[in-house]
């Protein structure tokens, strides 16, 4: 089994500046259940003079690719069979240059199950779920895992209705009625009662999910999976940045006009709650959750830039695309090629270790266990 890209997690040295360069794969906005089963946000943390070394490694990689017309390389370009070895070599070179990879992936169908629990069983809007406070993180996680096993049509209809809640009340009602039946079959009387409460409180729930009223925003942006993925990714990066405790930490995301304003809003919110709030972190700790801080402490600025001018954004695209590929193959039960296995061994171990894991996920536990099992037993998911 691989150990991931080499790195030692300790206070290396205080740095005046540090950066996170990141990009996404599988972005579908509010269309949760599209053809890409995963949303992956991935990138590299780099500090001080290591940035120049890392950028040189990427520029050398791009030069070796020699794409026609100086084309900007995307994952689909670098993962052609003849280029895979060089791509893997570039990732190792980045590790040697102390550019540390971080990623967060969301399994979209599992995330829909999470939305069902979070939206329909919020005691603030549904008195029938008063037995499930928002701080009951472990129980909410258990229920999400359970709801994930409901018939696919229920999650599909919920995801479709959630695109425009105020216009899809009948679909929501039908989904909840089926969820009540599911909870009863699972012998979960409290869950069934909570869903019945959602039927009674449906108007209040739908009104609360009207994100169009926030900061003149749009529901499709604020309610997308991109937002929680960014929040969790930032927290993981912030923990990695503890190595440097930079005076100026900057998160650089690949240019994406659709989410620029929304991302800035949530980055600023995370910065505002990043220092202190030990009581909230204590709640997470008592629940045994992997995220061990609220907000961010080491990220002070946010910007979106064109990847043509930022080599490490090109590397982030390769990292996100590769992780999405090996995850999708694992989900479909398809074998990994030798290069894909090597990519998985370089990256996926980063989600192991609970609180200390430098990367994270929101996905079906069984899927994650089986995927990591491929790394342990080379006969699982091997190419023939």
Q: Read off the pLDDT of residues 112-132 as tens digits, 9 standing for 90 and up.
A: 999 999 999 999 999 999 999
Rg over alpha carbons for the chain, rounded to the nearest Å, is 21
CA distances from 154 to 157, 176, 206, 233, 271 (A): 5, 9, 18, 29, 37
Fold annotation for 17-107+222-376: Nucleotidyltransferase; domain 5 (3.30.420)
Among 58, 36, 54, smallest CA distance to 45 is for 54
As a whole number, mean pLDDT of residues 171-179 equals: 97
Rounded distance, CA 240 to CA 251, Å? 13
- Cβ atoms of 116 and 147 within 8 Å: the answer is yes
pLDDT of residue 62: 93
384 band by pLDDT with thresholds 50, 70 and 90: very low
The H or E element that residue 21 is part of is: strand 17-25
Query: Model pTM?
Result: 0.89
The answer to whether the beta carbons of residues 115 and 179 sit under 8 Å apart is no
206: pLDDT strictly greater than 60: yes
Q: Is pLDDT above 70 for 12?
A: no
- Supply the pLDDT for residue 56: 97
Lowest average pLDDT, out of 101-105, 172-176, 236-240, goes to 236-240
Name the band, by pLDDT with cuts 50, 70 and 90, for residue 68: confident
Q: Which of 72, 75, 12 is nearest to 46 (CA)?
A: 12
Q: Does the pLDDT value for residue 178 go beyond 80?
A: yes
Per-residue pLDDT, 271: 76
Domain locations in the chain? 17-107+222-376, 108-213
Residues above pLDDT 90, as percent of the chain: 65
Task: Report how far residue 187's alpha carbon sits from residue 77's, in angstroms, rounded to the nearest whole number.
Answer: 50
CA 269 to each of CA 262, 265, 273, 299: distance values in angstroms, whole numbers, following the listed order: 11, 6, 7, 12
pLDDT (mean) for 20-42: 92
């Amino acid at each position: 089994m691989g150990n991931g890209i080499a790195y030692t997690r300790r206070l290396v040295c205080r740095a005046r500046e540090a950066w996170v360069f990141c990009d996404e794969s599988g972005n579908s906005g509010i269309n949760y259940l599209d053809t890409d089963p995963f949303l992956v946000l991935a990138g590299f943390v780099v500090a001080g003079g290591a940035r120049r070394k890392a950028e040189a490694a990427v520029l050398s990689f791009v030069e070796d690719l020699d794409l026609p017309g100086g084309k900007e390389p995307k994952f689909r370009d670098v993962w052609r069979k003849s280029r895979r070895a060089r791509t893997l070599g570039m990732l190792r070179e980045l590790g040697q240059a102390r550019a540390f990879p971080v990623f967060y992936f969301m399994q979209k169908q599992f995330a829909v199950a999470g939305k069902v629990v979070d939206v329909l069983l919020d005691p603030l809007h549904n008195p029938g779920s008063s037995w499930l406070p928002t701080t009951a993180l472990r129980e909410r996680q258990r229920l999400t895992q359970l709801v994930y096993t409901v018939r696919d049509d229920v999650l599909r209809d919920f995801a479709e209705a959630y695109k425009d809640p105020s216009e899809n009340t009948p679909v929501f009602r039908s989904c909840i009625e089926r969820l009540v039946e599911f909870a009863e079959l699972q012998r979960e009387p409290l869950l069934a009662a909570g869903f019945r409460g959602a039927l009674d409180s449906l108007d209040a729930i739908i009104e609360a999910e009207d994100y169009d009223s926030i900061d003149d925003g749009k529901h499709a942006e604020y309610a997308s999976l991109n937002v929680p993925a960014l929040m969790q990714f930032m927290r993981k990066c912030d923990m990695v940045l503890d190595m440097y405790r930079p005076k100026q930490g900057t998160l650089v995301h690949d240019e994406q006009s659709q989410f620029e304003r929304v991302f800035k809003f949530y980055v600023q919110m995370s910065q505002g709650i990043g220092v202190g709030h030990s009581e909230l972190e204590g709640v997470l700790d008592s629940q045994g959750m992997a995220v061990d801080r609220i907000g961010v402490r080491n990220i002070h600025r946010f910007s979106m830039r064109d990847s043509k001018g930022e080599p490490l954004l090109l590397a982030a695209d390769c990292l996100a695309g590769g992780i999405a590929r090996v995850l999708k193959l694992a989900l479909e039960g398809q074998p990994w090629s030798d290069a894909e296995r090597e990519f998985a061994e370089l990256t996926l171990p980063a989600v192991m270790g609970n609180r200390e894991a430098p990367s994270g996920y929101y996905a079906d536990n069984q899927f994650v266990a089986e995927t990591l099992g491929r790394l342990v037993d080379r006969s699982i998911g091997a190419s023939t």
